[in-house]
Chains A and B, each alone.
Chain A
Amino acid sequence: MKYDDIIIGGGLSGLLCAISLAEKGRKCLIISQGQSTLNFSSGSLEFINTREGESFEQAVAQLPAGHPYQKIGADRLTALRASVAQLLGRAGIDTVGDKERNHWRITPFGALKQTWLSLEEMTHFQKEELPRRVLVVDITGFLDFNATFIASSLGKMGIKADTCEVYVQETERLRENDSEFRSANIAHVLDGYAIDRLACAINEKAADADLILLPAVFGIEKDEPARRILRMLKKPAAFIPTMSPSVPGIRLQRLLKQRFIALGGLFINADTVFSADVADGRIASVHTLNHGTTRFEADNFIFACGSFFSNGLKATKDKIYEPILGLDVDFEGSHGDWFNPDVYAEQPYMSFGVHTDNKLRVSLAGKTLENAYAVGQLLSGASPIKSGCTGGVSAISGVYAAEIILNQQ
């Protein structure tokens, strides 16, 4: 089976890379293990944390030389940010976000966090636009969202924040199982009728609010349930993500996957690439667990396998390695150096990843593989949680790798 490009990994970076290639008519295959970190997405993509008055460009300039943004080059990043937003738009995903500065989102604990691009229905503010009076809505008995946590934090910022609890009769059957009352399941049972009733109940309590804040449990397959409740509410409203699973994240992944398939791409789910054939400094083909002796051949291979959580990287007591091919990995020191005893400090292991050149090409035993690229969280050099660049690195490196491949044709 011969493809133009094979993408290993179906998370944000793999999907965006694959869609970019497929939009240009290339025959692409994604091999995905299944779920990705989009399953606990905030519904927003961060580019980089900035200080007061600082531009994206200035913040990027302070990143270490090995950071993916530095490899891509500061001059390319502005255009790539625009490309990501447009690509999402073509997939039917409407976003908000300024090209040159961050906005703020409200986290499930009520913290404000900087972010670059948010799904339209999620909270998004500039600081001067913060609401004065909000109503935070809890769903009775739902343990993965806590309106009080959010309201108490907003209260400390001088926002008048009330909470209310609404009971959703339709979800009661989920409770027959002690562990099924979770965001994704709730989203599945909230149909049109349930949403309308819920909106009525919230409207009764929202008379004084400028803004209603809702748990993001609406619209897992498509946007319509989320749009519906926003239409039905008499006051402006926005969603705050719940603890995982993330309904907006799952929807994002589904819409991107649909877009890829609509463009003619093939998506193999629940399969694992376990080895690759390398000859003359190139990857010729890969093999998967479910397809036995089948050789998946392509002109280019993109490793979008994620970091440790997604098993794109593995750690033993002695080393960090890339499990498919044993690609060169950037890491330093021994086990004692990889972790900081303060869980909230910068953790060295977070920045470990596959070694690449400036074109994001990977290497094996010190020799660059001409047709193999790494994107997303698999890349070395970023400390994504601390510097606030998780979504940005994934999205931008995915689109960038596609550009490199397309430019070579």
Chain B
Amino acid sequence: MKQYDVIIIGGGITGAGCARDCAMRGLSVLLLEKADLTNGATGRNHGLLHSGARYAVTDSEAAAECIRENRTLRKVAAHCVEETEGLLITLPEDDLAYQAKFIESCQKAGIDAKAIDPKEAIRMEPAVNPDLIGAVMVPDGAVDPFRLTIYNAYDARLHGAEILTYHEVTDFLKDDSGRVVGVRAHNHIDGSDPEFHATITLIAGGIWGTVLAQKAGVNVGMFPAKGALLIFGHRVNNMVINRCRKPADADILVPGDTICLIGTTSTRIPIEECDDIRITPDEVDLLWREGVKLAPSLAETHILRAYGGVRPLVAADNDPTGRSISRGIVCLDHEVRDGVPGLVTITGGKLMTYRLMAEIATDMICKKLGNTKTCETATTPLTGSDGPALKTDSHTRSSVKAAWGRHGSHIKDIRSESTYETSLVCECEEVSVGEVKFGIEQLEAKNLVNLRRRTRLGMGTCQGEVCACRAAGLIAKSNACAESAKKDLASFLQERWKGMFPVTWGTTVREAQYTSMIYQGLCGLDQWAVETSTTRENPVLSKKEL
């Protein structure tokens, strides 16, 4: 039986970052994820490359961490980051006096914040509310959390780590002394329950990780806080737009690829609801109303979907909103804390500080294993971010440019020699046949939802209407599994609808009706609709069935 140095539980950005760091230090690594990479909070947030400015007044420690990591990620994860810069605007209903305090706090935290003339702000970002009375420019940006996670996992694999998705850890294995020596996991693809052994087991599963920790006799008080967001089908703004006031609901508008996002809310929810986040009409109203204050043209913009994630905040006090809780990083050595050797938890923190979290957790693991290699993730570029800029000319196909934006130097692995390989599967996001094949073969996409996260296929204006069927055909070809590809397509459209129906008005009703007419009316796809639990996506079986 293979013995690993470390088993990492959780395929979000924290787990993927830890897998990469551990693998780069020469440890043998196994990462287990119960669904797909980014399935939890990682794939359900703004994708804001925080400058830290937002926390400068309330949490100077988090702000300082943010700006350091912000600068680092621009260098080492360039292909996942878009350097948009950000504005914090003061509207007539806000207190302009807050601005001075804000700038001062930013400077203390090392964040380059400067006040600019509102007219200048409108010139730089024409979508901003023209009624603004103050504006501060900060080094915010956008980061694609899917890409960042998937490429951390890919990089970890290139360094020898094994990544198993659809493997849900169900229990911890302990030796006679009570030491955690591995885990048992349920394989959702083939139904087996294999055991894996390691010297150290690291829980990096966010909210879900702490529920799991109880099975090892360890209690970590978590504070699940739901954050709801809306995605608009058009990129109205090119800069991040924040409100210059104490952080509140729905006050950040982030551009990302072809779309923009408004968020978030913050509501405490019971831990049982974390698997099935539902967005209420009140949340939609609030997000929309506040979003329109940041950029008035949102009022006329097609809303693609509503969704929500759960912040993995560590409970610290009795604040009912969760906003005053530190986003600080929590790394727990359960040998010291709870008398359970072999088990470590990394939690708290946020997307922005994932690299630092991984560094802290890996340092602790290395110390336990007697490994003295130092962390290199702050200086070694992520795979994909390690190449020169794409050379383009007038003959460069737009799908090649789009794919370069998504995969950086791995563009070399995306075939584009034939017109078939360059033909588009997803026209909204310009995803070619070659890129879909790369997603399936190299980035290990097992179904359409996986493929969406790896390529943006189906994320654009039409939400997969045209491309989902084509991509399902390519997956079917690759896996020789036509019937499960149709089931997967049926559940993919169900998953898209889950985000759409709370915001179905205006042109979104047209899209919904069109999708139903095509997939149900024309094709009869409802015959393949399976009873899926709302909590988990359905993996496609890759067994040959023909």
Contact = CB atoms under 8 A, between A and B. Distances in A.
A, B in one complex: yes
Interface of A: 37, 40-42, 107-109, 111-113, 140-141, 143-144, 146, 148-149, 151-153, 155-156, 172, 175-176, 178-179, 181, 241, 243-244, 246, 307-309, 311, 314-317, 335-336, 338-344, 347, 349-350, 384-385, 390
Given A109-B486, A109-B528, A141-B423, A178 B505 contact: no
A150 B518 CA distance: 16
A112 B399 CA distance: 36
B510 A111 contact: no
Contacts of A152: 482-483, 546
A385 to B, nearest CB: 5
A156 B523 CA distance: 17
B466 A243 contact: yes
A108 B483 contact: no
5 contacts: A107-B522, A111-B523, A178-B430, A314-B509, A344-B494
Place the interface of chain B in its size category.
Answer: 35 or more
Contacts of A336: 281
Given A40-B517, A143-B433, A317-B505, 4 more contacts: A179-B424, A244-B518, A315-B509, A390-B517
Given A178-B424, A344-B526, A385 B517 contact: yes
Nearest to A343: B497
Contacts of A340: 501
A307 B506 contact: no
A41 B522 CA distance: 7
Nearest to A174: B419
A341 B525 contact: no
B483 A156 contact: yes
Interface in B497-546: 497-498, 501, 504-506, 509-510, 512-514, 516-518, 520-529, 546
B505 A335 contact: yes
A77 to B, nearest CB: 21
B130 interface: no
B513 A307 contact: yes
Interface string B382-396: 000000000000000
A129 B482 CA distance: 25
A15 to B, nearest CB: 18
B423 A347 contact: no
B98 interface: no
B114 interface: no
B310 interface: no
Interface of B: 281, 397-399, 419-420, 422-425, 427, 430, 432-433, 466, 469-470, 473-474, 476-477, 482-483, 485-486, 490, 493-494, 496-498, 501, 504-506, 509-510, 512-514, 516-518, 520-529, 546
A314 B483 CA distance: 37
Given A315-B504, A343-B493, A146 B476 contact: yes
A341 B430 CA distance: 29
Contacts of A148: 473, 476-477, 482, 546
B521 A385 contact: yes
B490 A309 contact: no
A109 B476 contact: no
A151 to B, nearest CB: 8
B501 A341 contact: yes
Contact of A42 (B498, B513, B514, B522): B522
Nearest to A43: B522
Nearest to A138: B473
Given A149-B473, A311-B510, A343 B516 contact: yes
Contacts of B526: 344
Contacts of B482: 146, 148-149, 151-153
Contacts of B529: 344
B44 to A, nearest CB: 18
Contacts of A347: 516
Contacts of B420: 140-141, 175
B505 A241 contact: no
A241 B473 contact: no
A143 B470 contact: yes
A143 B425 contact: yes
A385 B522 CA distance: 9
A99 to B, nearest CB: 23
A241 B422 CA distance: 25
Please name the 8 residue pairs, one residue from A and one from B, whose CB atoms are nearest each other, closest first.
A111-B524, A175-B419, A152-B482, A343-B497, A143-B470, A339-B501, A141-B420, A146-B473
A108 B423 contact: no
Q: Which of B485, B486, B505 has the most CB of A within 10 A?
A: B505
Contact of B517 (A37, A111, A317, A343): A37
Contacts of B517: 37, 40, 309, 385, 390
Contact of B504 (A42, A108, A176, A339): A339
B436 to A, nearest CB: 10
